[in-house]
């Protein structure tokens, strides 16, 4: 968590919001419209040709030291390969019909950070393009989950399911939501960082990292010479990742995908020729590591992990016999020094030194199914003592009102027969894999009064933590929480648990560090409402219309769980979701954290504390200031 002098997070902001809503509602709405127009104007300016050309020049200058050149493609066959990889024909038309022809098919994005509402053209370009990349990926991920939800709710024609990843990319491309589309980029891609993680090949194309959905080598023609610009290198499993700075890459071709045609010798053409030409020109090649996950049947799962590993130089190539007797090319690539190490390598290295900096083996004391360790490699400090709990502590006077519950005997459905689905607007808010489909003001899970199975996919947060988390000492923000495994977008992380108390008691406790006021989670749907999206974005719904403000606060100072250690960020990767399941009191929903994007291993988990400048004041009414050290691209420099 943040430093010891961290003031209360929510309460003062709650009072301000409540007062403003009573006295100046029209003014607040006007300001929302102003900020919305300002953001849309910024997005439009970023997409303008002038901006795009400037970004191309910036990228070219970054790559010039490596001997890279930036040109538009002249090789028609390469362009055709890229275009042919898009969803075509009936499948593409079906996707557009689903998304444009269904009125209730809408999406809402989780918040990025409050600083986004103040973006203008003068902002740092690197921050802007990074924000556009993250937005495009979040749109893609929400679309995939929404499409999957639609497929799961359809009981007929299960053997004719569409490819949700290609369909989502088709929609985004049609709506000009792809990023870095000015032409093939040699070298670093603006807005994409080493270690960024993707769970579909199509995501690589959305952000301009690797344009081909099928081919392992992306290449272009420069001055009548083919040059490779990126490769996707698959290894069998993440544990097989080689920690050296060299990569032996197998060439493309020779593996027919149609009929029973036998394999044939690979040819030194197209992508293979592009890699060979990179040797003499010293052109850097982007490497994306792909890791296939295997199910119990031994077959690769549709969703794999792709991690951007940085820039490599091709040092040599040779020909050798493949396992089936045909000739294949091998290329030796060396990683350019000075780049960040990808987190998978760091995780494997940490396994070899697992006891380094270990303070506590399991801070939950066995209460969580997965142990939560505490490590400190900064100093000798240990976390302040507290009682770890897994369920909220309610006041002794409180008697919860149990919801009626659904009468489903098997799997809950999206039809009107499931009362829980009806309360959620006619659909179950989670996919079958437990991922939340999209952010909502309030989510109803099945609870103890429901007759459905305990393993119903509408019971997510109540089953506890599913990912390996670690509490660690940060350099500048006290204790924090990071993940030791990859976390897909939409995944449940943990609940913010503690003592539920009234605001009056919170004032008397005089302990502001671990307070979370209920009813005013950070929400910025107004920023996205009206922005260009592939399908109609649902209208922003005020939390006050769904969650009743009752003056309650969660105090995790003496009783709490891992959620109490999660830090603030101006560019968070989690968001807080209101959830009800074991009672029906909208004044005190459970505060549950979900992943707003794909989170690689060893990345810190953060959410937005929702401060505003001038919000926090001392006893004399003077505004206090506190520096923000989150270090994100969008950091405002001040927490309040």
> What pLDDT was estimated at residue 111?
55
Strands 469-473 and 574-580: unpaired
**Residue 488, CB half-sphere, CA atoms under 13 Å: how many?**
20
> What pLDDT was estimated at residue 632?
81
> What pLDDT was estimated at residue 152?
86
> What pLDDT was estimated at residue 293?
58
Strands 197-198 and 479-483: unpaired
C-alpha separations of 296 from 301, 304, 591 in Å: 10, 15, 34
Rounded distance, CA 198 to CA 206, Å? 11
Hey, how many other C-beta atoms are within 10 angstroms of the C-beta on 411?
15
Q: Measuring CA to CA, which residue among 450, 412, 447, 442 is closest to residue 424? A: 442
Report mean pLDDT in 10-residue bins for the chain, 640 residues.
Answer: 41 36 38 35 37 42 37 40 45 46 47 45 73 94 93 64 90 94 94 95 96 94 95 68 78 70 87 96 95 51 79 96 87 95 66 68 96 94 96 93 89 84 93 93 94 94 95 93 94 97 83 79 44 38 56 93 94 93 93 95 91 69 82 79
> What pLDDT was estimated at residue 5?
38
Q: What is the DSSP letter of 461?
A: G
DSSP H helices in 515-615: 525-528
Three-class SS state of 163: coil
| Domains in the chain with CATH codes | 48-339 (2.30.280.10), 351-607 (2.170.270.10)
Where in 322-428 does DSSP place strands (E)?
327-335, 358-360, 373-375, 387-388
Residue 558 near residue 499 (C-beta atoms within 8 A): yes
> What pLDDT was estimated at residue 251?
92
Residue 270 near residue 229 (C-beta atoms within 8 A): no
CA 105, distance to chain mean position in Å, is: 21
Hey, how many other C-beta atoms are within 10 angstroms of the C-beta on 244?
9
Residue 222 near residue 239 (C-beta atoms within 8 A): no
Hey, how many other C-beta atoms are within 10 angstroms of the C-beta on 203?
23
3-state secondary structure 469-498: EEEEECCCCCEEEEECCCECCCCEEEECCC
pTM of the model: 0.79
**Residue 452, CB half-sphere, CA atoms under 13 Å: how many?**
22
Q: Hunting for tokens 């000015």 — which residue is that?
A: 182
> What pLDDT was estimated at residue 271?
96
> What pLDDT was estimated at residue 528?
37
Rounded distance, CA 11 to CA 518, Å? 9
Residue 562 near residue 571 (C-beta atoms within 8 A): no
């Amino acid at each position: 968590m943040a430093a010891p002098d961290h003031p209360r997070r929510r309460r003062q902001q709650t009072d301000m919001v409540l007062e403003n809503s009573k006295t100046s509602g029209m003014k607040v709405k006007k300001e929302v419209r102003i900020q919305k127009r300002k953001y849309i104007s910024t997005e439009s300016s970023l997409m303008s040709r002038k901006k795009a050309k400037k970004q191309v020049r910036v990228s070219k200058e970054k790559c010039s030291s490596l001997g890279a050149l930036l040109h538009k493609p002249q090789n028609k066959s390469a362009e055709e390969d890229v275009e042919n990889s898009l969803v075509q024909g009936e499948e593409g038309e079906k996707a557009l019909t689903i998304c444009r022809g269904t009125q209730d098919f809408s999406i809402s994005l989780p918040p990025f950070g409050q600083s986004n509402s103040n973006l203008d053209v003068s902002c740092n370009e690197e921050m802007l393009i990074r924000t556009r990349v993250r937005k495009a990926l979040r749109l893609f991920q929400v679309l995939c989950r929404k499409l999957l939800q639609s497929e799961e709710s359809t009981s007929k024609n299960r053997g004719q399911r569409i490819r949700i990843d290609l369909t989502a990319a088709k929609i985004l491309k049609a709506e000009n939501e792809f990023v870095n589309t000015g032409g093939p980029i040699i070298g670093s891609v603006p807005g994409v960082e080493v270690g960024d993680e993707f769970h579909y090949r199509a995501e690589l194309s959305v952000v301009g990292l690797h344009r081909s959905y099928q081919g392992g080598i992306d290449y272009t023609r420069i001055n009548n010479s083919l040059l490779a610009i990126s490769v996707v290198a698959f290894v069998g499993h993440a544990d097989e990742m080689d920690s050296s700075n060299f990569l032996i890459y197998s060439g493309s071709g020779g593996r027919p995908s149609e009929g029973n045609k036998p394999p044939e010798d690979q040819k030194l053409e197209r992508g293979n020729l592009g890699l060979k030409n990179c040797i003499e020109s010293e052109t850097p090649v982007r490497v994306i590591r792909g890791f296939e996950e295997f199910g119990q049947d031994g077959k690769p799962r549709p969703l794999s992990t792709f991690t951007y590993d940085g820039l490599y130089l091709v040092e040599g190539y040779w020909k050798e016999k493949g396992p089936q007797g045909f000739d294949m090319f091998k290329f030796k690539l060396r990683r350019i020094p000075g780049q960040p190490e990808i987190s998978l390598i760091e995780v494997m290295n940490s396994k070899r030194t697992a006891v380094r900096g270990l303070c506590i083996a399991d801070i939950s004391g066995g209460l969580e199914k997965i142990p939560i360790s505490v490590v400190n490699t900064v100093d000798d400090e240990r976390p302040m003592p507290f009682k770890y709990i897994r369920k909220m502590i309610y006041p002794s006077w409180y008697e919860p009102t149990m919801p009626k519950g659904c009468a489903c005997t098997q799997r809950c459905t999206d039809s009107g027969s499931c009362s829980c689905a009806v309360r959620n607007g006619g659909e179950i808010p989670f996919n079958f894999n437990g991922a939340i489909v999209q952010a909502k003001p309030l989510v109803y899970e099945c609870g103890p009064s429901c007759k459905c199975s305990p393993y119903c996919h509408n019971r997510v947060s109540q089953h506890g933590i599913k990912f390996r988390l670690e509490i660690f000492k940060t350099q500048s923000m006290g204790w924090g929480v990071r993940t030791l495994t990859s976390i897909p977008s939409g995944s449940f992380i943990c609940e913010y648990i503690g003592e539920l108390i009234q605001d009056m008691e919170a004032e008397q406790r005089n302990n502001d560090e671990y307070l979370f006021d209920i009813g005013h989670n950070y929400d910025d749907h107004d920023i996205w409402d009206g922005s260009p999206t592939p399908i109609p974005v649902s209208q922003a719904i005020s939390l006050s219309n769904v969650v009743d403000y009752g003056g309650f606060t969660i105090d995790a100072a003496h009783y709490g769980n891992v959620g109490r250690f999660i830090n603030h960020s101006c560019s968070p990767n989690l968001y807080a979701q209101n959830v009800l399941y074991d009672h029906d009191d909208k004044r005190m929903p459970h505060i549950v954290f979900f992943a707003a994007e794909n989170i690689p291993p060893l990345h810190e988990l953060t959410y937005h504390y929702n401060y505003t400048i001038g919000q926090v004041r001392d006893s004399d009414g003077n505004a206090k200031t506190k520096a923000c050290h989150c270090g994100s691209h969008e950091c405002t420099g001040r927490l309040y």
